[in-house]
Chains A and B, each alone.
Chain A
Amino acid sequence: MTSVTAPDAAPKRRSRRWNSLDAREARLAWTLISPTALIVFGLVLFPAIFSVWISFHDVGLSNLNDVFHAEFVGLDNYREVINDFAFKPGELPEEWATANLGEKVSIIFTRWNWGAAVTSVVYSFAATALTVLVGLGASLLLNRPFRGRGLARATFLIPYVAPIVSVAFVWRWLLDPRPSGVLNDVLMNLNLIDLPRAYLAERGLALLIVIIFEAWRYFPFAMLMILARLQAIDRSMYEAADVDGATTWQKFWYVTLPELRYVIGAIFLLRLMWTFNKFDDIFLLTGGGFGTKVLPVLTYEFSFRLRDFGKGAATAMILLVILVVFLALYVGVVMKNVEED
């Protein structure tokens, strides 16, 4: 018996000593991190839970100061949002029945009201795909050594760090609907258009422009991450491909792209979520008009234009549900793959 307890007791005593040291370390750790945790959880986590509460209550400007006594309305806010013409897809125009395929495509993109939910999803996927594609192009361009590469790389980052307000307004002004707008002037001089166009005030075209703007502004993020991965690819794989007589295209397709798969997947989902959450860009470019109303802009309009915070919160919750699906994909697919690597 003693031979069993004796080796048992020694580690226990040691572990208690370690415990006290551990405990001291843990106390220090919590002291150090508590201000950050307090601010972040207090101003993010608590409001997030509170926002669920608001979405089930009738909260307007009149009872904002007495918000805890707001009337419980169940799912009314959700029902109203889902049936709102700005949220759900609208009716197809009458010509739809008789239109041929080309006309149907044109009706879908230029005349049909998609509603904020569909617009949000289409816009986020298209903008993210274009952003990643442009980022990939830019990173391949900067991956080869040339004189002035450092400067070029720095320049490529400028759209990403410049304030959104200034770049959005410069773009709006470049796209000015008057003949004095730069894009109108250039296209008219090239005889590509006869009359000036209002690029941000045409259904379909406005969404396309906003998507291009997103790619212009956010490609540097994708570029930097892809560039880092590109430079980590083992040179010997290309040498082996050279020995086998592979063309540049084959090397890209069979060596580079497989190596980039996970980083591109990670960027895609990260950017997808950020784009999905994004309010400023569309609000500043189009104000959410002409087929560009996305869920964040709708949330803002319900809350701060109509002052119906309950409906606003309900819209935000719907946005969050879609986001959680993206997030689950992110954790399930990307993180898993990264760990396996």
Chain B
Amino acid sequence: MTSAITTTIVWMVVPLFLGFSGYLVPQLGRVFALSVALLSLGYGLGHIIEPSVLNWQLLDSFGVSLRVDSLSGYFIVTNALVTAAVVMYCWQQGKTAFFYAQVTLLHGSMNAIFICNDFISLYVALEVISIAVFLLIAYPRDDRSIWIGLRYLFISNTAMLFYLIGAVLVYQTSNSFAFAGLEGAPYEGLALIFLGLLTKGGVFVSGLWLPQTHAESETPVSALLSGVVVKAGIFPLVRLALLMEEVGWLLSLFAVGTAIVGVVYAIFEQDTKRLLAASTLSQMGFVLVAPTAAGLYALTHGLAKAALFLGVGNLPSRQFQELRRGVLPWWSWLAIAIPALSISGLPLVGGFAAKTITLDTLTGWQQIVMNVAAVGTAIAFAKLLFLPIQTKAISVQDNLPKKGKVAAMWWALLPLVGGLLLANSVYAYTLKSILKALLTLGIGWLIYGLMDRLGIWDQLRKFQLPRAVEQLEHLIGIMSLMLVLLFGMALA
């Protein structure tokens, strides 16, 4: 027991220590970032393979309490693999020590989220994440990136202020900030805390800030944001849902809602990166809807989405219209196809197991709606899968200038794709589930094909979902609507 605690404390402190040391020895910044990720990988895998629950309190009765179990293990492994992939992707790009220091600190504070067990540690970790993410988004230092970063900071800080009010309401009733104290807390406290976490996690309409932020960042930063950072808001929600039955019911409503909203946005998107970001919005619904299966789903989604962002970042254009006119080299296509198939739920790839287990735990109308969302996901990703490919071998001269970049991409994809293939669970492979997954994919691709044949995609190009809701004022205003909705639901 004590050795496990010592390991955990060392593992927690190392990223913070190395993150700041990165400033002192700038040459080693990327090495530090990678080694921190590998350390977390080992730690997280240990907790998945040997699912023991570690529960303890630092110092005395008002100390910080921590909890590590297999759910944390899955999230920690996601964090580790995505960070490692992003660091490898950036290895040759000449990023400064500042960038790697932020990545390392972000990694450390994400880890803190996955083991904390009270509202205030959670708050501190979430705010450190906001700061690190702002600095990463604004890394190119142009007006656009600074504005995207400021917008993110505004939304997350406002959400966290509501969250703080909720946290003190919990304290007032139970004299403790522990998660368990939410049980007897007043409805207002519950609603305010949920508002904060739902906004941070990009769920339902309060997550509409997410597509622009994730799509307009640089490729590696987008991969980090969609791969792990959204899970900072999701993980505590899953924890609370597992802790309290009635909370689970409330959350599953939001989960179903976000799955549908996200998938509709994804189908209508004309831009590859925005499609991926909108699909993150929808996939968070799949993670939340079945808290018992959340770990595996979060892992497969994180790996696939990070790989997709890295792969799409290497395409010649972001617009589907232009991509459909040209041809893609097969290795470029393959880098997108494997993760895209995983998210659509093709057997043999990790996403299939996660999706099957998630959908199996659902009952009644939720199962029907989530299956529809799964078909929608297949339609949305068919847009990426059926891009024209060049099958002939390309001449060496064409290949040469890009060779370094492609190699870097595949090095980065190695941990992600490898993780996706390994994350299969044997339990999911029954005849029924395989048939069902193939049917879902078949229906999705059929609809895509029909729409393609009838020229509906071309019609859709003229039609755009309103972007007005993505303005800063509206996003903050949505928070007040969500608060009213949450109050109503908590009272009911």
Do A and B truly interact? Answer: no
Residues of B within 8 A of A (CB): none
